[in-house]
């Protein structure tokens, strides 16, 4: 099930919308500007990741996953500037009907409620458009800001996963959260 294109005004001209091929340059710039800020929360990236060509490759892979129905990649945009990403990935059908949520926001836009609004919207899309039963998100143990967003959006913590993901060059523990979308 491929979702329809998304474009939702979140607040003050910040739009949550589908990731597009033409976002490559703006997304590369967003990653360059925020590379130091995001480094503690992300996997180590190849050298070309913060280039337009590197982002074209990333976007092509995400677009293929979107067409296959296994991902919903979105961006937060303020005018022509990309200020964040939110992606529902590893969408699994059958008896599971679930997906994994990941997101980040530009340092200068953090703390304004924009990611909370975006997580609420992607949760709604996951339920209404994708007809998922559940979405899951993992945060580093000390990432209180992300945990706060998830809790505000109705996610509940359900476990601790030791050495869960290779982040910043080392296997790190994560708190696991879920939101049940169907009754």
- We report the CATH number of the domain holding residue 73 as 3.40.630.30
Q: pLDDT higher for 88 or 12?
A: 88
90 secondary structure, DSSP code: E
**Residue 95 scores a pLDDT above 80:** yes
Domain hosting residue 11, numbered range: 7-133
**Is residue 72 in some structural domain?**
yes
Angle between helices 24-38 and 52-68 (to 10 degrees): 100
Distances, alpha carbon 153 to alpha carbons 46, 88, 143, 148, in Å: 33, 15, 16, 9
Angle at 160 between CA 129 and CA 91, to 5 degrees: 20
**Is residue 13 in some structural domain?**
yes
What SS3 class is residue 116?
A: helix
Task: Give the total number of structural domains in the chain.
Answer: 1
**Is residue 104 in some structural domain?**
yes
pLDDT at 11: 85
Q: Residue 61 and residue 67: Cα distance in Å, rounded?
A: 10
Q: If you average pLDDT over residues 156-160, what whole number do you get? A: 98
Partners of 105 in the β-ladder: 84
**Is residue 82 in some structural domain?**
yes
pLDDT at 33: 96
Chain centroid to CA 8: how far?
A: 16
Q: How confident is the model at residue 2 (pLDDT cuts 50, 70, 90)?
A: low
Q: Residue 91 and residue 129: Cα distance in Å, rounded?
A: 13
pLDDT at 3: 63
Determine contact, residues 172/164, Cβ cutoff 8 Å: yes
Q: If you average pLDDT over residues 162-182, what whole number do you get? A: 96
């Amino acid at each position: 099930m491929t979702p329809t294109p998304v474009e939702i005004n979140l607040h003050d001209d910040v739009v949550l919308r589908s990731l597009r091929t033409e976002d490559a340059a703006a997304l590369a710039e967003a990653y360059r500007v925020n590379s130091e800020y995001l480094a503690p929360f992300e996997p180590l990236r190849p050298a070309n990741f913060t280039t337009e060509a590197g982002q074209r490759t990333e976007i092509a892979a995400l677009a293929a996953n979107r067409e296959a129905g296994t991902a919903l990649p979105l961006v937060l945009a303020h005018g022509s500037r990309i200020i964040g990403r939110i992606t529902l990935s590893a969408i699994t059908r059958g008896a599971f009907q679930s997906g994994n949520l990941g997101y980040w926001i530009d340092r200068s836009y953090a703390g304004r409620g924009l990611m909370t609004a975006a997580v609420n919207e992607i949760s709604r899309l996951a339920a209404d458009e994708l007809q998922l039963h559940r979405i899951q998100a993992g945060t580093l143990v000390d990432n209180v800001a992300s945990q706060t967003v998830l809790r505000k959006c109705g996610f509940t913590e359900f476990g601790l996963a030791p050495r869960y993901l290779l982040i910043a060059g080392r296997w790190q523990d994560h708190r696991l959260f879920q939101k049940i979308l169907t009754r």
